[in-house]
């Protein structure tokens, strides 16, 4: 069952890329299906990471919300960078802080680390088990709990629903 | 329609310029990576979207979607690798730095 799930996820993932790269006539679609099926059969071990995504309506809904939350944070972070760079005094109080995450799956942690890098003033430096080390351009909180809430909290509540 | 595309492309290039300025002005490697990553991600995305809006063909649009996806996934990844490597070889941090939990945790392990 687990094998089938990772095969299907890898197939869908690769087939989307095939569709984006090739013209949409029935010959290309058929050839793509055969080739993608072959590849995802051979490499289905690597589909296990993709298969950590839960397949139910709630998690799909949360993924869509997550995309908008993420884009909002991306724009905010760019305005933040612009504001810091353009102000003559260069207002930064940087530091590397440690935060704790409750996520278990590797896929979720990858997306979390990537999202943190693209949100205002934070850059993930290292990941050790359940702890993320984050370079924060404007350190305002003390202690792991408060820092985790400030940085990880807004993404974690969505990712918890989306992944195993 | 082409005017809208041109304006979005312009906004994208302004963000790219601010990113470059950030790399120039920030005091140490981590702050530079910060400014560089964020600005280049959104800047390049807006740049590509602006080009797409100018076009009406479907195939270039789909390819630009692929480009945006790859940038969105690989840009933070590369900056993460750079930051980790920089910290591992003990690159000095800026004078303004207030704390460094990672160095603290690593020193504890070494005898």
* Neighbouring residues of A15: CB distance < 8 A, sequence distance ≥ 6: A32, A33, A36
State pTM to two decimals.
0.83
Shortest CA gap B111–chain A (Å): 20
Break chain A into its structural domains and give their ranges: 2-50, 57-162
Chain A residues within an 8 Å CB radius of B11: none
Interface-testing mutation among A14, A17, A20, A89, with chain B (most B C-beta atoms within 10 A): A20
Give B100's strand partners.
Answer: A96
What Å distances lie between residue B27 and A25, A85, B4, B97, CA to CA? 54, 11, 37, 10
Q: Which of B44, B72, B76 to mutate to test the interface with A (most CBs of A within 10 A)?
A: B76
ipTM: 0.81
pLDDT band at B10 (very low <50, low <70, confident <90, very high): very high
Domain boundaries along the sequence of chain B: 2-109
The greatest distance separating any two alpha carbons of chain A, rounded to the nearest whole angstrom, comes to 61
Find the closest chain A residue to B94 by CA distance.
Answer: A94
- Nearest-angstrom CA–CA distance, B24 and B29: 11
Sign of CA dihedral A104, A108, A110, A113: negative
The tens digit of pLDDT for each residue in A77-86 reads: 888 888 888 8
Per-residue pLDDT tens digits for A79-113: 888 888 888 887 788 888 888 888 888 888 888 88
User: Residue B52: helix, strand or coil by DSSP?
Assistant: helix
Radius of gyration of chain B, Cα coordinates, nearest whole angstrom: 18
Angle between the A57-86 and A153-162 helix axes, to the nearest 10 degrees? 160
């Amino acid at each position: 069952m687990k094998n089938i799930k990772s095969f299907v996820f890898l197939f869908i993932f690769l087939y989307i890329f095939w569709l984006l790269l090739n013209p949409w006539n029935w010959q290309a679609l058929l050839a793509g299906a055969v080739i993608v099926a072959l590849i995802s059969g051979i490499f289905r071990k690597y589909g296990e990471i993709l298969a950590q995504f839960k397949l139910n309506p709630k998690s799909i809904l949360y993924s869509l919300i997550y995309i908008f939350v993420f884009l909002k944070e991306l724009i905010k972070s760019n305005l933040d960078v612009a504001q810091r760079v353009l102000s003559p005094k260069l207002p930064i109080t940087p530091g590397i802080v440690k935060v704790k995450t409750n996520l278990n799956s590797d896929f979720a942690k990858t997306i979390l680390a990537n999202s943190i890098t693209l949100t205002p003033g934070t850059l993930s430096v290292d990941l050790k088990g359940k702890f993320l080390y984050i370079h924060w351009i404007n350190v305002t909180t003390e202690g792991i709990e408060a820092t985790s809430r400030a940085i990880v909290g807004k993404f974690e509540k969505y990712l918890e629903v989306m992944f195993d | 329609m082409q005017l809208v595309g041109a304006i979005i492309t312009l906004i994208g290039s302004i963000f790219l310029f601010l990113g470059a300025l950030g790399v120039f002005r920030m005091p140490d490697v981590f702050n530079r990576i910060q400014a560089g990553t964020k600005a280049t991600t959104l800047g390049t995305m807006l740049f590509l979207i602006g080009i797409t809006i100018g076009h009406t063909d479907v195939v270039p649009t789909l390819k630009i979607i692929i480009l945006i996806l790859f940038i969105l996934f690989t840009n933070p990844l590369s900056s993460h690798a750079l930051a980790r490597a920089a910290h591992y070889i003990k690159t000095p941090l800026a004078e303004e730095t207030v704390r460094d939990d990672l160095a603290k945790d690593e020193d504890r392990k070494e005898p």
